[in-house]
A and B are shown apart, each in its own frame.
Chain A
Amino acid sequence: MHTSSTLVLVLAVFAASLVEMVEALTIVVAAGVSRGWRSALEGAVAAAAVLGVLVLAVGVPLIRYVPIDALRVVVGALLLVLGLSWLRKAILRASGHKDLHDEDKIYADTVAELSSDHDGTPAKPDKGRDGVGFAVAFKGVFLEGMEVVLIVISLGAAQNRLGLAALAAGAAVVLVGIVGLLMARQLSEVPENTIKTLVGVMLTSFGVFWVGEGAGVKWPGSDLAIPVLAGFFVVVYFAMTAFMRAKLPAPTVQVEGVTS
C-alpha cells in the first residue's frame, strides 16, 4: 500500500469525522445548555462508546472472513453512494441551488425545542440526570456518528487499515471536542461545505478505485491512481459548479420584498 493512498485514507476519514462531529456537537451543546451538561455529556459518551463497539464488532470480522475482492466491491459501492451524494450536495450548495448547512439555526431550533417540556412549561436544567437531555445527545452523536462508522469500516477494511482509520476518526472527535469546549457556540465558523466537498471527492475516488480493483480492473500506477482520481473529481466539482452558476443559475426567491 503506497504512502499516498494511506495519506488520502487518513485525510478522508479525518475530514468526514470532523464534519459529522461538528453536527453532533451542535446538538450536544444545545442539549447541555437547555437540559443540563451532565446528561448531555453522558449521552454523547454513551453513543461514542456504542459506535466504537460497532467498529470492532463489524469491522474486524469483515477483514478476517470476507474475501478481499468481494469486500472491495461492496465497500466501493458504499463509498460511491456516499461520495457521490456528498459531492452532489456540495455542488448544489456552491451554485446556490441548495441552502448551506446552518449550525446556528440548528442550535437555536434545538435549544428552543428542548427549553420547554411537552406541556409548554420551561424545562429546568439542574445538576441531576435528565432523560431528555441524555436521549437527545445520544441520538445526535449516534446518528451523525453512524456515517463515520461506515466510512471507517469501509476504508479501513478495504485497505486492511481499520486501526489507522479508527485512529483518524478518534483524532477528529478529540479535536472537535476541544474546539467545542473553547468555542462553544461558534460552530458556524467551521467551513463545512468546503470540508464536505473534500470528503465527497475522496470518498468518490476511493469508491471508483475499489469497485474497479475488486472487479479486476488493473489501474495504471496501482494505488497511485487514487490521488489522480481525487484530482480529477476536484476538477469535476469546479467545472460543474461553474456550469451551474453560469448556465443554470438558481432562481431568486421573493420573500416579503426581500430577494434571496
Chain B
Amino acid sequence: MIAAVRKGIIAFGHFWWDFLIGDTPELALATGVIIGVAFLLAGSRWAGAIILPGLATVFLLLSVLRGRRRAPGG
C-alpha cells in the first residue's frame, strides 16, 4: 500500500517535472522572470503591455536558438 502511494507520488512528480521543466528549463525560467517583472509593473498600463510580451519573445527566441539542429562539429 505504502509502496503504491510512493510510486504514485513519484509518478505525479515526474509528470509535473516533465510538464513544467522537461527539456526546456529556459521556458520555466522565462515564466518566473515574466511573473516577477509583472509584479514590478503592477499598476502600469503601456509599460506592462510592451515589456511582458517583449520578454516572452526574447525568451522564445533564446529557446528556439538553443533547440536548433547544428551541423556535426558546429
A residues in contact (CB < 8 Å) with B: 73, 76-77, 80-81, 84-85, 87-88, 91-92, 95-98, 146, 150, 204, 207-208, 211-212, 214-220, 225, 229, 232-233, 236, 240, 244, 248, 250-251
Contacts and interface: CB of A to CB of B under 8 A. Distances in A.
A244 B64 contact: yes
Interface centre among B28, B64, B65, B67 (most CB of A within 10 A): B64
Contacts of B20: 81
B49 A219 contact: yes
Interface string B13-39: 001000110101001101100110011
B1 to A, nearest CB: 21
B68 A97 contact: yes
Interface residues of B, number: 38
Q: Chain A contact residues: over half helix, strand or loop, or mixed?
A: helix
B69 interface: yes
A219 B45 contact: yes
Contacts of A84: 24, 27, 30-31, 56, 59-60, 63
Contacts of A250: 68-69
Contacts of B39: 215-216
Interface of B: 15, 19-20, 22, 24, 27-28, 30-31, 34-35, 38-39, 41-46, 48-49, 52-53, 56-57, 59-61, 63-65, 67-72, 74
A212 B48 contact: yes
A98 B70 CA distance: 11
B64 A211 contact: no
Contacts of A232: 53
